[in-house]
Amino acid sequence: MQIRALDKFRGKTQVLRGIDLEIAPGERLALLGHNGAGKSTLIKAVLGLIRYEGGSIRICGATPGSSAARSATAFLPEAVSFHPALTGHEQLSLFARLTGERTDIDGLLERVGLCDAMHRRIGAYSKGMRQRLGLAQVLLGRPKLALLDEPTSGLDPISRQDLYAIIDELAEQGAAVLIASHALTEVEARTDRIAILRKGAKVADDTLAGLSAQAGLPVKLRVQASGAEADRIAIETGGRRINGASVEILCSPQDKMAELRRIAAMGEAVADIDMVPPRLEDLYCHYSREDRK
């Protein structure tokens, strides 16, 4: 998928500002941003559901909404809804007939963990079960582009793990995957690249390591002191005692090695050192800051 210089207005308000975004086959991109940043608007534009005033979108070379683009794209909305009177099996069989896919429906439902529930009415499914069925529908189409809007909201931790395992499979099969999310800890571990929108503009787009290097945020060194040495270590390093036996030191990425050597030279006073690089949460706060140019 390729998006170039995308502009979208809602009345007089510009809600997407010159967005450039690409996702390669097999890549998992996390799209982050505060409420109202423009994530859903971007997804709707890619799906061909809304017009845009400037720029271009191409899905495998096709324009959004065209039949080629629609057959290449699958979408899992945040609150997926199906006909409550149908069973999961009936619903998926219906989709398979509509799309002309010849698929092992039982196998697919088993894959998403709905083996026992496939012949029950969807009206009696939990949110997580509906989400799983939505994912089965995404898998059914063998999409080249999968757009997932808050796919794990309201899911229990095991269901989340399962869902990401299936997303990984999609990517392994060559789909470009876009995950719009507020769940920073999850996407930190399960995506290849992160794009951040702020007030309709893209303010970051790189791997976690790339964003980290550009932001230059401090690295945390957590030093565990032996015996009663924590105070001395805190004074000598300029760090902060965070509990009886540990000291936390913030240093720039460039000073990290020098700082580590200085701490190691304290010898027996130091029992252990942990290095904590900036988390996605820190990077997200950095890139979404209002005063950032």
Considering the complex, state which of residue 17 and residue 111 has its C-beta at the smaller distance from ligand ATP: 17
Considering the complex, state which of residue 37 and residue 175 has its C-beta at the smaller distance from ligand ATP: 37
Considering the complex, state which of residue 10 and residue 83 has its C-beta at the smaller distance from ligand ATP: 10
Residue 51 CB, shortest distance to ligand ATP, in Å, is 12
Size, binding site for ligand ATP by CB under 6 A: 10
Residue 216 CB, shortest distance to ligand ATP, in Å, is 27
Residue 37 CB, shortest distance to ligand ATP, in Å, is 4
Residue ranges in 197-226 that form contacts with ligand ATP under rule CB under 6 A: none
Sheet architecture: strand order including 193-198: 73-76, 145-149, 176-180, 28-33, 193-198, 201-206
Report whether 21 contacts 202 (CB < 8 A): yes
Considering the complex, state which of residue 49 and residue 115 has its C-beta at the smaller distance from ligand ATP: 49
Residue 274, φ and ψ in degrees, nearest 5: -115, 140
Q: Is 151 in the site for ligand ATP (CB under 6 A)?
A: no
Residue 60 CB, shortest distance to ligand ATP, in Å, is 24
User: x/- site string to ligand ATP, residues 14 to 53, per CB under 6 A?
Assistant: -x-----------------x-xxxxxxx------------
Residue 10 CB, shortest distance to ligand ATP, in Å, is 4
- 49-56 contacts at long range (C-beta below 8 A, 24 or more positions apart): 50/8, 52/6, 52/7, 52/8, 52/16, 53/7, 53/8, 53/9, 54/5, 54/6, 54/7, 54/18, 55/3, 55/4, 55/5, 55/6, 55/7, 55/18, 55/19, 56/2, 56/3, 56/4, 56/5, 56/6
List C-alpha distances in Å: 91 to 98, 109, 115, 123, 293: 11, 11, 14, 12, 48
Task: Report the interface residues with ligand ATP, using CB under 6 A.
Answer: 10, 15, 33, 35-41
